Structure 1
Amino acid sequence: MDKYLKILIKELRPAMGCTEPAASALAGAKAAELLGLVPTSLEIYTSRDMVKNAMGVGIPNCSLKGIQAAVALGASGGDSEKGLSILSSLTEKQIEKASAIPVSLVIESGVPSLYIKVIAKAGDDVAIATISGEHDRFSFLQYNDTVLRELAVDACGTELEAEDEQFLDSASLADMLMWVEQAPQEAIDLVLSAKETNLAIARHALDHSYGLSVGKIAAEPIGRAPKNLTEAFSLGSAMAAAASDARMAGCPLPVIINSGSGNQGITLTVPIAVVASYLKVDDEQLGKALLLSQLIGLGLTARKDRLSALCGAFTASIGTACGLVYLLGGSLEEMDRAFNTMVGNLTGIICDGAKSTCALKIYSCVEAANLACNLAFRGLSPGSESGIVGKSSMESMDFLSRISHEGMEETDKTILSIMLGKQS
């Protein structure tokens, strides 16, 4: 199978609610399934980024929050076969059982940012389920003394996965655009379907109040039918924020994720779909614009950790900016300009966990993408003399990778320290 297509099929999947609580519930469910009954106690060993991203976000279909609650819900009757949609349905009995299970939590050092190990106990029996590297990748399973699965702790546990990571890590904007221009229909159908799923939660959120109602309020002066391109750009920003408002509050509607993140999936689809609707472009052009944005989002994530101190809405919105340029008939040169404008504008937006303010960041990032697109068509973008902006988008990608890995490690620790301090 075509390598780009294979990666897109693997990465663009549905998830219910924020993906960190979903992954936590998935680990809890698998541990309980191995145990064969509801555990009498649960132990969690996880990374600081998992704790950070599960701390303040709503869990679908209940009022509980946090990583301990998510694991307990999964262990109290969750079905691991549902994958990241495991929280799509919860019963009162399941919630009651989860609330009664003692759960301990240890934040581990020296593990990948996406890592959670659940130890479930009942009597003399013990089961262990570890998810790491990707949100639904079981890297270790054990029942009593029998090890059932043991993979490398990161996502590159097989040669195939390592090749995918290396492939995306080295792909340039020109490489992605060249593939998009000749993309198979299966790839176009995939992103058009993802667009419909993500638009559904965005439209729903315009009619209901969730979280800070960022998107609903921002859309009010425009309405559902933009009268010009400027309004279409702004409505795209508002609807993307609205979808995040709903998702972060625990709305029980699915989202198609990108790089394991629903907010990134929303950012990379909804604004482009809204502008395309105003422009009345055909499905092929829209599909190719969406493919380009999705691939850029995936490529940037490959250059940083899936969970890091660098906000995912920012890196995703770089893909949005390039997708908008493509939608409006721009060339690689305009996309390169838009990319570098985004790097010069918003690099440094921190991720302080998944919560209601993600909608604010998505709105700001997509508005910046709109501006970058407009500047690009006027031949404007910052030059390489401007801070961390590179001579090309490829060089800027490398600089972003360095900032994520070298520059923001201590920032990440400080963010979690502040968040945990507020709880105590």
Structure 2
Amino acid sequence: MRNEIMKEEQFLSILKSEIAPAVGCTEPVAIAYAAAKARTLLEDRPDRTSVIVSRNILKNAMGVGIPGTDEVGLEMAAAMGVIGGNSDKVLEVLEGITPDEVEEAKAYARSCVSVSLKDTPQKLYIEVRLEKADDSAVVVIEGGHTNITKIQHGSHILYEQKGCREIQRSAPDKDGLTIENIYEFISNVDIQKLDFLDECVRMNWTIAQEGLFGEYGLGVGKSIYPPEKTELTAADLAGYTAALAAAAADARMSGSTLPVMTVCGSGNQGITATLPVIGAALVLGTDHERMYRALALSCLVTIHVKQFIGKLSPLCGCGMGSSIGACCAFVYLQGGALEQIRYAVNNMTASVSGIICDGAKSGCALKVASVISSACQCAALALKDHSAGSMDGIVSSDVESTIRNLGVLGSRGMADTDQVILDMMICK
């Protein structure tokens, strides 16, 4: 019994550690967070701000909207952090920025902020340097969007360690996750222990409605499922679930100030792992308990897959991670069991593996819509006991081997892809 309790608490700890709120895309927001943190060390506004980042951060931050503005880019993200950011709010650092501060940040970004590339093998590296004639501050983030590894004021190093004590949380061990034990956990956990997902449902549903009824980006969500249509039928499953997720991505990628609940450090992954599940539950008339178990399943499968792919990758995290989680949840919501969930993972791998990440931008909503449509198709096949197998490319008859193969594809198999993508983006 003790082992079962420990095991259950470990799953809950993993969920709680990988689900967190953020305002805006997490890469530029992490830059704003570092800038705001450094700004607290200086009495006056810095004359110069230098942002030095890894190529994955540059790729993901250069084309995405900054919350509360019509601007994009790393310069504006850093300027917003310096001018009006609140580092105490971590990934919600830009919440509450005023219109006057936005205008100040625009001017500051044009004249006082520079961006350069760090020659590092690390995928997630952010260094922000603030300078005045007689003062300076440096903050470095590595490995995770909030993992501060260095804080320096002038020549005095205040912190230099693996994680800043203010924000560091002991990371639960995820190595033991499997599709089988995830399924066992979500099937048996006391449903009240999943009540913490309430805020995730509320937050992500709100931004989906903002995207459906507002004017954001390409308007992918509302083009798939018109918001004025109110009656849902079983035939709406694919369209409605894709529309909800895409609409939230429309809003988030195009400057909405509404927060989202992230999964594995990504708002779009959080959107893709949760909103299709909520939408499917509405279409299918699922009760509260089964929907929350399905949400836990989707998020844990996403976390499991992303553990192999990595937080930042040449592969699209929504396509290779959270859409697989959503597909498993679709199967579960429609009465599927463990074997059909295994089929769902293999079907999705056969369907969408290889979708690249070419940076965060409004077009991400198109990819979100595509992979959720595929998730509906793959779930339908799995429920009929149809599964891609060992003759289907990188798919293995063992689902855990399939997931490991995705990780190898995203690391060794696409080692040069990020550089090629970034070169194309910069040289346009």
Both structures adopt the same fold (TM-score exceeding 0.5): yes
Q: Does 1:365 align with 2:361?
A: no
Distance 2:381 2:312 in 1: 30
Show CA shifts across 1:117-148 (max 9, x none): 10111122111111121112211111112211
Match of 2:225 in 1: 219
Distance 2:424 2:97 in 1: 32
Distance 1:264 1:303 in 2: 15
2:14–2:174 Cα contact (<8 Å) kept? no
Match of 1:202 in 2: 208
Deviation at 1:31, TM superposition (A): 0.8
1:38–1:77 Cα contact (<8 Å) kept? no
Unaligned runs of 5+ in 2: 1-5
Match of 2:3 in 1: none
Q: Does 1:244 align with 2:244?
A: no
Deviation at 1:56, TM superposition (A): 1.1
What amino acid does structure 1 have at the position aligned with 2:372?
V
1:61–1:89 Cα contact (<8 Å) kept? no
Distance 2:353 2:228 in 1: 29
Q: How many residues align?
A: 415
Match of 1:21 in 2: 28
Unaligned runs of 5+ in 1: none
What amino acid does structure 2 have at the position aligned with 1:341?
N
What amino acid does structure 2 have at the position aligned with 1:373?
A
What amino acid does structure 1 have at the position aligned with 2:95?
S
1:296–1:319 Cα contact (<8 Å) kept? yes
SS at 1:116 equivalent: strand
1:16–1:254 Cα contact (<8 Å) kept? yes
Match of 1:53 in 2: 60
Match of 1:131 in 2: 141
Residue number among 411, 414, 418 corresponding to 1:412 in the alignment: 418
Deviation at 1:43, TM superposition (A): 1.1
Distance 1:319 1:399 in 2: 17
Match of 1:81 in 2: 88
What amino acid does structure 1 have at the position aligned with 2:296?
L
- Identify if the C-alpha distance between structure 1 residues 197 and 221 changes in structure 2 by more than 3 Å, giving closer, same or farther: closer
Q: Does 1:281 align with 2:291?
A: no
Match of 1:90 in 2: 97
2:124–2:312 Cα contact (<8 Å) kept? yes
Deviation at 1:186, TM superposition (A): 5.2
What amino acid does structure 2 have at the position aligned with 1:68?
E
2:26–2:145 Cα contact (<8 Å) kept? yes
Show CA shifts across 1:259-295 (max 9, x none): 1111111111111111111222221111100001001
* Alignment of structure 1 residues 86-235 onto 2, 5 Å: 86-98=93-105, 99-100=107-108, 101-152=111-162, 160-161=170-171, 164=172, 167-185=173-191, 187-220=193-226, 223-227=229-233, 229-235=234-240
Cα RMSD, aligned residues only: 2.0
Distance 1:379 1:249 in 2: 40
Distance 1:8 1:284 in 2: 17
Distance 1:363 1:159 in 2: 33
What amino acid does structure 2 have at the position aligned with 1:415?
I
Q: Percent of pairs identical after alignment?
A: 38
Deviation at 1:360, TM superposition (A): 0.4
1:216–1:238 Cα contact (<8 Å) kept? yes
Distance 1:234 1:222 in 2: 14
Residue number among 295, 298, 301 corresponding to 1:296 in the alignment: 301
- Identify if the C-alpha distance between structure 1 residues 37 and 186 changes in structure 2 by more than 3 Å, giving closer, same or farther: farther
Distance 2:115 2:254 in 1: 24
Deviation at 1:232, TM superposition (A): 2.4
- Identify if the C-alpha distance between structure 1 residues 363 and 187 changes in structure 2 by more than 3 Å, giving closer, same or farther: farther
Deviation at 1:36, TM superposition (A): 3.0
SS at 1:76 equivalent: helix
Distance 1:159 1:217 in 2: 41
* Alignment of structure 1 residues 381-420 onto 2, 5 Å: 381-420=387-426
Q: Does 1:37 align with 2:44?
A: yes
Match of 1:265 in 2: 270
TM-score, length-scaled by structure 2 = 0.93
2:308–2:403 Cα contact (<8 Å) kept? yes
Larger CA deviation: 5-14 vs 177-186 = 177-186
SS at 1:257 equivalent: strand
Deviation at 1:184, TM superposition (A): 4.0
Structure 1 runs of 4+ off > 6 angstroms?
none
What amino acid does structure 1 have at the position aligned with 2:16?
I
Deviation at 1:182, TM superposition (A): 2.5
- Identify if the C-alpha distance between structure 1 residues 276 and 245 changes in structure 2 by more than 3 Å, giving closer, same or farther: same
Larger CA deviation: 175-184 vs 209-218 = 175-184
Distance 2:288 2:92 in 1: 28
SS at 2:94 equivalent: helix
